[in-house]
Amino acid sequence: MNADRLYDRSPRFVIELITAACLVAAPFVLPYLGAAPNTVNRILVWGLFGIGFDILFGYTGLLSFGQSALYGTGGMVAAYLLTRAGFPHVVTALVIGMVAAAAVGYLVGLVALRRTGIYFAMITVAIAEVFYFVEFNPLSDFTGGENGLPGVPTPRFDLGFVKLDFSTGWSLYPFLAFCYFLGIVVALRIVRSPFGAVLRAIRDNPLRAAAVGHNIHGYKLAAFVIAAAYAGLAGGLLGVMQAFMPPDAFMFETSGQLVMQTAIGGRGTLFGPLVGAGVWLFLQDFLQGTLGLGASWKLVLGIVFVLLVAFLRQGIIGGIRDLVRWVRHRAAPAREIAAEEAAPIVAADRHVAPLPAHPVAHAAGGEPILRASGLTKRYGGLLANADIDFAVMQGEIRGIIGPNGAGKSTFFKMLTCEVAPTSGTIVFEGSDITGRSVTDVCQLGLTKSYQVNQLFNRLTVRENVTIAALAELRGKFRLDMLRSLLNVKGLQEQVERTLALVGLTARRDVPVAQLAYGEKRRLEIALALASSPALLLLDEPLAGMSPRERVETVGLLKSIARGRTMIIIDHDMDSLFELAGRITVLQEGRVLVEGTPEEIKSDAKVQEAYLGGVNEDLAA
Amino acid sequence: MSNSKQSPTRRDFMRLGLGAAGGLAMSGGFIPRVFAADQPPIGTWPAGMSGNSVFIGIAVPRTGTYAVQGEDELKGWQLAVEHLNSGHPLMQKISPRTKKGVLGKEVKYGVADSAAKPNDAVQAEQRFITENKAVLMTGSTSSAVAVALNKLAQREKVLYVTGISGSNDTTGKDCVRYGFRQNFYGQTAAAAIGPVIVKAYGKNKKVAYLTPDYTYGHTVTKSCQDYLATAGWSTVTNQVAPLGAPDYSSYLLNVANSGADVLINVNWGHDAVLSTQQAQRFGILDKMKLVIPYQIPFLAPEVGNNLTAGVYAATDFWWTLEDKFPLAKMFVDEFRKKFGYNPEWGANNAYMSFAMWADAVENAGTFYPPDVIKSFEAGRKLQSTVGEVYIRKEDHQCVRPVIIVQGKKQSEMKNKEDFWNVLEIVPGEGLMQKPDAFGCKLGDYT
Amino acid sequence: MINWANFISQVFNGLALGALLALISSGLTIIYGTLGVLNLAHGAMFMLGGYAGFVAYQATGSYIVAVAAGSLALLVLGILMERVIIRHFYGRPHEDQLLVTFGLSICFVELVRFFFGSESRNVAPPGPLSGVVSLGFAIYPTYRVALMGIVAVALVVLFLVLYRTRLGMIVRAGIEDAVMVDSLGIDVYRVFMVVFGIGAMAAGFAGIVNAPVVSLTPEVGEAILVQTFVVVVIGGVGSFPGAVLGGLIAGEIISITSMINPGYAYVMLFAAMTLVLMLRPHGLLGTPGRE
């Protein structure tokens, strides 16, 4: 399962079938390899626990050290129901435990996800410790304190014609294997869905994912809850497997073990945690039993872990995959897609119909599509933008120029609501968007392409555009986890159109890392285009380009200008004067002057701003 | 746990039918069962004694807070196994029918590190049961492990004798038909040491407690409080600290300012060592008398500085009992010969537990668990290292004396292990609670 | 009805706890502030300092030598760790850095367990500092009082290095903007190495001076690590004064809660951290916008 590919090219259900086959074969094959049934059962439980964690960490990029809290919660709720509360049905209790863990995960996520990256990791550590303490002491009536909850029964099904009684060892295996299989099937659907695609976008570039119109907080919370549900179910199964729900489930060490197993097996593969658990438990038995190392088996494991993190970033599964790929490359000479052979933009595809822009709320002529009034931004003592009044009519191409430090990028950031203005208002299509979020604004039809490329670096060209298009087609948040990405109506069309417009159709399956700089800039523009904006801002689209690339890009910009409004910042005044109908000049945070390219070229104030008045002296 | 009441034949047919019906998706290798002539298989019987040897699974902490006590216990078991296999006279004094091995079969064992974690202990013992067909489980230093293994024993139908376990619950509300305990516990400790300290310090004293935050701690503290209240002693503060706390300063400051006359330290293992050392550094031991109601093996040497001088403690065994009981002398001599130091009470508990099990099996004439259990419950009196003892059938607790000791001053010590003076040997009968007082309900035999 | 003697002694105790936390947290915060790496092995380094000092103490019987050994050993280890391992992770995502330091912390703990076992080891306080002293409101171990002084001196030294030397200035500049420092032609990797070394040394020093108070076990670093996180979050990432303030606050929270219900002391600490995160995410003295 390759996390990096959104579009699964393997034949349908191959992975599911192989998994089922392996699970069925295991009890016949593994005993010959010396595996004890209880060990295999444990591996399955850890594997299931890890599926949810992998979705959270491998696919969404959120490293949580607090999964033990949810594992324990689900397990304790299920065990409590089955032991002290005398609840009769094991499977129902497991489901209730899972739901309880998901609910708790939701509440925990609300707190923890307020921060990202390292802060998030630290908070999850603290949460794990707090939960351990709480279950140990204040709630010990429910959790049995340090004794745990003993006496958890195993499942029994009375189907009428046959009674299924799963007790321990190999007898319990079918039940656990079935649960794991279900877990994998659901997880595979999730990662192949549009929801799963957005998760990966968040992992690669959360900033851009939000800017193309996804409500990343909602997605993260959903991923967190999913991980919590898997953890809760696994916790319940642990209690059933051992006939005893231990307090150790809540310990921070449990979270740590999960993280290590996932990293060892391979993150972002869904099966990584299973492999990692196998390695861990195997080494534990082997090193302690066969080699008689006693307590120092953990040292060996720690060293193995560090080495894997350093050298095999995608763990064992990743390593195997790379090996297979390397072998294949040697077997068949590859068609190397050289980075230098950048495909030129095929004669600007005039035949491609422009992407329909958002229908504008107000008809052309009359109110401007965008009006900023008194827009000011202050950073501490620094005044980046001062009292800017700015209006653009629909269908216009406006250029913005100004010397360095004029505050152009800050101005753009305020327009897209990446940054909140210190004072002033912005009205877009008649509604006040001041202080709203960049996601909402993008959904309304205002978006930007960035000065420094903000791409999804681990995805291909086509996948990058897909992410942006998904926001356009599905809105900022949708829990369509069980839908296939291929089934989203209009997605392929939108993606193909956008790619054609920027001339990247031939390079659609190339990973971003292998693109030439010019191609990356085009992709950058494509990301903004894919949301079909009514108003498109371009921050220095020509930066760093060779003269030939500039000409091509100007042609591209002209072709996409049809049917939409554009504002372009750039330093290349020749190109900008060719493109734009009107130019606004900023200097030191204020609007200096506004007019047609002709007027601006000959404006004395502009010359002075750029040249410092030398021209005047010479003319005089 | 109750069992299906169907006859074994139909149950086995059901299982085979299940195997076929499960078909593609579900299958498993079901262990074919060998029928005994009249009894259905149960637990690891008869598979576990089909050869020339039987296996015992031991899960003991070799790392973590209780590692030191765990190692001592383990040596007790090892010595017992050696004596069983060789038919040693000491073993034969305790279990008269023992000749060589148990019912002629050699005893083998396996050891796993539980790190005092219930989960790890259960995991290890489950392996011993499925892989080695263990006929007996043992091991614990923490009562949490003992309770967990109690439940495992009852589920798997494999006998379990506890290692060190001080909580009332082990033969109280968490008792099981398949579990047995030899050593003393909270209730008997409090009842034994209570009169001693009341006599020494007087009535109506103020007490401060240091309690570790788990069942063992809470039950021992409660037992002490209940007993001492009858002599007018009042609790001025009960400082509950988490297991493994590195720094007791906050708790000790509260104790120091509480105005107590006596400090009862219920902490165990390394926690007891640390809290006692820090108590001394905060000047508490100069102001208050220290009492250890549940003694910890190796406390005195680890805590150092002769901090145990004059301290009253209740324990299960101390090696100077060799002067009073001939069997104790034999045991201490044999242990010292093999391991080079005098055994602590954990080792004694381990040895005695195995000896009692061997006696029960020999008397039952079979390894069949329900028969062995009934043999335990028969109330036979055995000779032990502390005199005559027997197992009480209502809760599987061994009725045995509690030893009250007092720490010796450095100057009084005759050799480097002579830490404690045995003051009293309090008979067990009068100390124990009524059998049902702690809510013990033994489960089924099968 | 407040027992005033108890209250004052707990507040005092809180200062003692807090001072130690402040020292360890300063190490963590300058490493994170400068390198952007959250060193999950910091607690293990605290523990290693203690054991290194213990070994020296066993060999020489001198407390001073032990302290020096503990600090120097960790300075060297910190520098080695940065050069050999951490350096290769700067370009990699944060999560990878967390994973590798987490793995290293496990390795350190198990290595110590392998050589020293799990039993606790004692380091005695130096002769003149053992015993008790009467502070009026409480009897207090002399060494703990002395420890407050020792840690205060160490913090002052750290402060002087950071704020009064050229190296310290570069380090603080690096905390603000490492790229800029690099552009100015200063070998930023060397700075990183030094910072990591200093941070590790702070933890190691704290580990050995704290050893006479609590005995040494391989696990002694884990609890400290979590408390250090809390302090860093409360005080503000990358801020040395924040670490000091956060440490003292944390110490007082633990102590004062212990007066009422000792069991809840750590929960209150986490509650405080959550409160800070909700209301002032960059910490009390941190700079807004730092992640």
- Would you give the DSSP letter of residue A406? S
Q: Which pairing describes strands A535-539 and A446-449: parallel, antiparallel, or unpaired?
A: parallel
Is pLDDT of B31 > 50?
no
Looking at every residue in chain C, the average pLDDT score rounds to 85
- Would you give the DSSP letter of residue A238? H
Which residues in chain A touch residue C100, judged by CB atoms under 8 angstroms apart? 306, 309-310
CA A564 remoteness from chain centre: 29
Backbone angles phi, psi at A586, to 5 degrees: -110, 145
Is pLDDT of A103 > 60?
yes
Q: How many angstroms separate the CA atoms of B157 and B151, rounded?
A: 10
Whether residues B254 and C262 touch (CB distance < 8 A) is answered with yes
**How many CB atoms neighbour CB A172 within 10 A?**
23
- Mutation target to probe the C interface, by most C beta carbons within 10 A, among A60, A65, A108, A118 is A118
Instruction: Place B162 in a pLDDT band, splitting at 50, 70 and 90.
Output: very high
Q: The tokens 């788990």 sit on which residue?
A: B214
Name which of A182-191, A337-346, B245-254 the model is least confident about.
Answer: A337-346
Q: Show the DSSP H helices in B340-400 as ranges.
A: 345-364, 369-377
Whether residues A288 and B130 touch (CB distance < 8 A) is answered with no
Instruction: Place A609 in a pLDDT band, splitting at 50, 70 and 90.
Output: confident
pLDDT tens sequence across B285-312: 888 999 999 999 988 888 877 888 899 9
Instruction: Give the highest mean pLDDT range of B120-129, B350-359, C133-142.
Output: B350-359
Q: The tokens 């986490």 sit on which residue?
A: C270
Whether residues A309 and C99 touch (CB distance < 8 A) is answered with yes
**Which residues does residue B241 pair with via DSSP β-bridges, in sequence order?**
B212
Please indicate whether residue A246 or residue A141 has the higher confidence score (pLDDT).
A246
Whether residues C138 and B257 touch (CB distance < 8 A) is answered with yes
Instruction: Place A52 in a pLDDT band, splitting at 50, 70 and 90.
Output: very high
Region of A489 on the Ramachandran plot (φ > 0 left; ψ -120 to 50 alpha; else beta): beta
Q: Judge whether A169 is closer than 8 Å to chain B, CB to CB.
A: yes
Is pLDDT of C113 > 90?
no
Quote the strand ranges of A393-485, DSSP E: 397-401, 423-428, 431-432, 446-449
Q: Longest Cα pair distance anywhere in chain C, in angstroms?
A: 63
- Structure tokens given for B178: 């398949």
Dihedral angle sign, alpha carbons of residues C216, C221, C223, C227: positive
Angle at B293 between CA B292 and CA B299, to 5 degrees: 40
Q: How many angstroms separate the CA atoms of A434 and A420, rounded?
A: 7
Which residues in chain B touch residue C13, judged by CB atoms under 8 angstroms apart? 249-250, 253
The whole-number pLDDT of residue A159 equals: 62
CA B396 remoteness from chain centre: 12
How far does the CA of residue B40 sit from the closest CA of chain A (Å)? 17
Whether residues C95 and A309 touch (CB distance < 8 A) is answered with no
The stretch A457-469 carries a mean pLDDT of: 91
Is pLDDT of C75 > 90?
yes
Which residues in chain A touch residue B18, judged by CB atoms under 8 angstroms apart? 162, 164
Whether residues A294 and B113 touch (CB distance < 8 A) is answered with yes
Quote the strand ranges of C29-171, DSSP E: 132-134, 139-141
The whole-number pLDDT of residue A69 equals: 92
Which residues in chain C touch residue A305, judged by CB atoms under 8 angstroms apart? 103, 106
- Mutation target to probe the A interface, by most A beta carbons within 10 A, among B3, B65, B126, B142 is B126
- Structure tokens given for A357: 């822009």
Q: How many angstroms separate the CA atoms of C37 and C31, rounded?
A: 7
How far does the CA of residue A519 sit from the closest CA of chain C (Å)? 24
**How many CB atoms neighbour CB A482 within 10 A?**
11
Which residues in chain B touch residue C139, judged by CB atoms under 8 angstroms apart? 256, 282-283
Q: Judge whether A38 is closer than 8 Å to chain B, CB to CB.
A: yes
How far does the CA of residue C177 sit from the closest CA of chain A (Å)? 17
Please indicate whether residue B63 or residue A73 has the higher confidence score (pLDDT).
A73
Q: Judge whether A133 is closer than 8 Å to chain B, CB to CB.
A: yes
The whole-number pLDDT of residue A342 equals: 44
Instruction: Give the highest mean pLDDT range of A5-19, A120-134, A367-381, C98-112.
Output: C98-112
Closest CB to C263: pick one of B67, B240, B278: B240
Backbone angles phi, psi at C222, to 5 degrees: -65, -45
The stretch A200-205 carries a mean pLDDT of: 92
Q: The tokens 């504008």 sit on which residue?
A: A360
Please indicate whether residue A444 or residue B15 has the higher confidence score (pLDDT).
A444
pLDDT tens sequence across A20-31: 888 888 888 888
Q: Judge whether A173 is closer than 8 Å to chain B, CB to CB.
A: yes
Please indicate whether residue A35 or residue B412 has the higher confidence score (pLDDT).
B412
Please indicate whether residue A310 or residue A160 has the higher confidence score (pLDDT).
A310
The stretch C70-82 carries a mean pLDDT of: 93
- Mutation target to probe the B interface, by most B beta carbons within 10 A, among A83, A130, A133, A146 is A146
Whether residues B254 and C215 touch (CB distance < 8 A) is answered with no
pLDDT tens sequence across A68-86: 999 999 999 999 988 877 7
Chain A residues 115-134 within an 8 A CB cutoff of chain C: 115-119, 121-123, 125-127, 129-130, 133-134
The whole-number pLDDT of residue A99 equals: 96
- Structure tokens given for C98: 């967390």
Q: How many angstroms separate the CA atoms of A102 and A339, rounded?
A: 46
Which residues in chain C touch residue A129, judged by CB atoms under 8 angstroms apart? 226, 266, 270
- Number of helices followed by number of strands (H, E) in chain B: 14, 15
Residue B400: closest CA among B436, B372, B441, B430? B430
Whether residues C100 and A309 touch (CB distance < 8 A) is answered with yes
Whether residues B130 and A28 touch (CB distance < 8 A) is answered with no
How far does the CA of residue B215 sit from the closest CA of chain A (Å)? 7
**Which residues does residue B289 pair with via DSSP β-bridges, in sequence order?**
B262
Amino acid at residue number A549: E
- Mutation target to probe the B interface, by most B beta carbons within 10 A, among A90, A132, A147 is A147
Whether residues C214 and B283 touch (CB distance < 8 A) is answered with no
Amino acid at residue number B408: K
Contact by Cβ (8 Å): A27, A176: no
Looking at every residue in chain A, the average pLDDT score rounds to 84
How far does the CA of residue B411 sit from the closest CA of chain A (Å)? 40
Instruction: Place B426 in a pLDDT band, splitting at 50, 70 and 90.
Output: very high
Contact by Cβ (8 Å): A480, A195: yes
Q: Judge whether A296 is closer than 8 Å to chain B, CB to CB.
A: no
Is pLDDT of B358 > 80?
yes
Whether residues A302 and C85 touch (CB distance < 8 A) is answered with no
Helix A67-82 to helix A90-112 angle (10° resolution) is 150
Whether residues C13 and B246 touch (CB distance < 8 A) is answered with no
Which residues in chain A touch residue B147, judged by CB atoms under 8 angstroms apart? 147, 150
Chains in touch with B (3+ beta-carbon pairs under 8 Å) read: A, C
Contact by Cβ (8 Å): B162, B114: no
How far does the CA of residue A151 sit from the closest CA of chain B (Å)? 6
The whole-number pLDDT of residue B79 equals: 94
Contact by Cβ (8 Å): A541, A553: yes
- Mutation target to probe the B interface, by most B beta carbons within 10 A, among C2, C8, C9 is C9
Residue B356: closest CA among B390, B321, B329, B327? B390
The whole-number pLDDT of residue A1 equals: 46
Closest CB to B254: pick one of C120, C214, C259: C259
The whole-number pLDDT of residue B6 equals: 40
Q: How many angstroms separate the CA atoms of C53 and C220, rounded?
A: 15
Name which of A272-281, B104-113, C208-217 the model is least confident about.
Answer: C208-217
Coil vs helix vs strand at B424: strand
pLDDT tens sequence across A394-440: 888 999 988 887 888 889 999 999 888 888 999 998 889 988 999 99
The stretch C58-84 carries a mean pLDDT of: 91
Contact by Cβ (8 Å): A581, A398: yes
Q: How many angstroms separate the CA atoms of A199 and A194, rounded?
A: 9
The whole-number pLDDT of residue B244 equals: 75
Is pLDDT of A4 > 90?
no
How far does the CA of residue B30 sit from the closest CA of chain A (Å)? 7
The stretch A477-504 carries a mean pLDDT of: 86
Whether residues B241 and C139 touch (CB distance < 8 A) is answered with no
Closest CB to A28: pick one of B29, B130, B150: B29
Looking at every residue in chain B, the average pLDDT score rounds to 85
ipTM associated with this complex? 0.86
pLDDT tens sequence across C3-29: 777 888 888 888 888 999 999 999 998
pLDDT tens sequence across B387-399: 899 999 898 999 9
Is pLDDT of B65 > 60?
yes
Q: How many angstroms separate the CA atoms of B313 and B290, rounded?
A: 9
CA A401 remoteness from chain centre: 34
Give the strands of the sheet with B234-241, arranged side by side. B234-241, B206-212, B262-265, B289-292, B312-315, B402-407, B420-426
Instruction: Place B404 in a pLDDT band, splitting at 50, 70 and 90.
Output: very high
Whether residues B18 and A171 touch (CB distance < 8 A) is answered with no
The whole-number pLDDT of residue B10 equals: 44
Which residues in chain A touch residue C92, judged by CB atoms under 8 angstroms apart? 313
